[in-house]
Amino acid sequence: MDQDIIKSLKGLFTIVVVLGIVVMVLLGGVLLLQQHPDVLVSPKEEDTTIPPPLVSENLVKDGVHVATGLVAAEGYEMVIANCTNCHAANLITQNRGDKEHWEKLIDWMQETQGLWDLGKNEQVIVAYLAEHYAPVQRGRRANLSEIEWYELVE
């Protein structure tokens, strides 16, 4: 009978020791993760490359880049390379603004939409946009001409 109790106590002691070791290993792991949370994550290099533009056709007809509808003038290729990666070209062609408007829009895209730093290209892009997509003065319509007037018959 005493042998059975001693044998049971040894088994219980072994279980307690094993559980203690397991708890110590788990606590050590938790402490390690708190101190170095990136241990389980492989280091990932930030992708800083600029993706290629979605528009690859380069056909220009009547001074307009066919694939985008942009005026084919100095700087339009830079606009395609930097702007059409994220949005369609018609977001450009349907808007109008002066230099300050386009600069503010670029700043907004950089602050909120993840647009990269355009560097020296920003001046070229803004100059292109301000010249070809400048505000349009709207006034009265032009007078009608070449109209064949007729008299009303009562």
Q: For the segment 133-149, what is each residue's pLDDT rounded down to a tens digit?
A: 999 887 888 888 888 88
> Whole-number mean pLDDT of the chain?
89
Residues β-bridged to residue 65: 60
Query: What is the fold of 60-133?
Result: Cytochrome Bc1 Complex; Chain D, domain 2 (1.10.760)
Looking at the chain, the whole-number percentage of residues with pLDDT higher than 70 is: 94
Question: For position 23, what pLDDT does the model report?
Answer: 96
State how far Cα 66 lies from the chain centre: 25
Q: Residue 53 pLDDT > 70, yes or no?
A: no
The pLDDT confidence band at residue 56, using thresholds 50, 70 and 90, is: low
The pLDDT confidence band at residue 36, using thresholds 50, 70 and 90, is: confident
The pLDDT confidence band at residue 103, using thresholds 50, 70 and 90, is: very high
Number of residues assigned to the chain: 154
The pLDDT confidence band at residue 51, using thresholds 50, 70 and 90, is: low
CA distance 83 to 89: 7
Question: For position 42, what pLDDT does the model report?
Answer: 73
- What ranges do the domains of the chain cover? 3-39, 60-133
From residue 8, alpha-carbon distances to 3, 21, 28, 44, 127 in Å are 9, 20, 30, 52, 88
Question: For position 118, what pLDDT does the model report?
Answer: 93
